[in-house]
């Protein structure tokens, strides 16, 4: 039952070229920093990454992008990364833009075993091209299919050795639903405790969804976009 592995490098060692990864985080909050760095060092390529965004040029998934390890991004927002823009315009990167609520629900559906769902988001836009639509109760909806990953890379706050996980505040974001939708879920955390130390009613991701736990050894508190007041203004 002990799911703890010794390092991030060991945790991602079987991620192969062409894998589909679900990567937690929102902006730079709640991203699996150590697992991403281990992937960068591994050199694995042709990855499809499903994440809210692709980090910034020098942090988060932006590190993999700069190293040309990502072939396709499935995201809801891509506006903070010049490398992303350049690779897309040069034809080096395939991009699937998904409305944020739809992205979250597609991942949740993948973890819950749901075959698809209808949503009004994207009706009449490029998002709906090539997809089935239906009129339900007088309103048009588009069919969206679930998203699952070969691996889910998750950032938690605390976990026990069994793999029960607690997230901290807004760092929870996409992490719980991605943890459920990965065939192999790898969680990096800031603290690992013994079974029974986590309050049962505080656990966000139960151990049944988690295959590996690793203790992160370094974290940076980055600000995605810094906005400051001009000098001399009240």
> What's the pLDDT at 233?
66
pLDDT of residue 102: 98
CA separation for the pair 2, 12 (Å, rounded): 17
Fold of 8-113+147-215: Glutaconate Coenzyme A-transferase (3.40.1080)
pLDDT tens figures, 5-58: 999 999 999 999 999 999 999 999 999 999 999 999 999 999 999 999 999 998
- Hey, where are the domains in the chain? 8-113+147-215
pLDDT of residue 234: 61
pLDDT at 224: 72
Q: How far is CA 79 from CA 32, 67, 225, in A?
A: 20, 19, 11
Residues of the chain with pLDDT under 70: 233-234
Question: Do 181 and 108 form a contact (C-beta atoms < 8 A)?
Answer: yes
């Amino acid at each position: 039952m002990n799911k703890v592995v010794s390092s991030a490098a060991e945790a991602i060692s079987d991620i192969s070229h062409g894998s589909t990864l679900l990567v937690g985080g929102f902006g730079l909050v709640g991203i699996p920093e150590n697992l991403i760095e281990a992937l960068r060092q591994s050199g694995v390529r042709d990855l499809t990454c499903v994440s809210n965004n692709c980090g910034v040029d020098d942090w988060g998934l932006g590190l993999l992008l700069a190293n040309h390890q990502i072939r396709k991004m499935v995201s809801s927002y891509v506006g903070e990364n010049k490398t992303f823009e350049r690779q897309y315009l040069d034809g080096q990167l395939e991009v699937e833009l998904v409305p944020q609520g739809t992205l979250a629900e597609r991942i949740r559906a993948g973890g819950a075993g749901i075959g698809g769902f209808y949503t009004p988001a994207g009706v009449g836009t490029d998002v709906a091209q090539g997809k089935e639509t239906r009129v339900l109760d007088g309103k048009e909806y588009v069919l969206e299919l679930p998203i699952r990953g070969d691996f889910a890379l998750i950032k938690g706050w605390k976990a026990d050795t069994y793999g029960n996980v607690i997230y901290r505040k807004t760092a929870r974001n996409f992490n719980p639903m991605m943890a459920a939708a990965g065939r192999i879920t790898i969680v990096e955390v800031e603290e690992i405790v013994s079974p029974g130390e986590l309050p049962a009613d505080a656990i966000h991701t139960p151990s049944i969804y988690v295959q590996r736990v690793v203790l992160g050894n370094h974290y940076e508190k980055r600000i995605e976009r810094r906005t400051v007041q001009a000098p001399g203004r009240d």
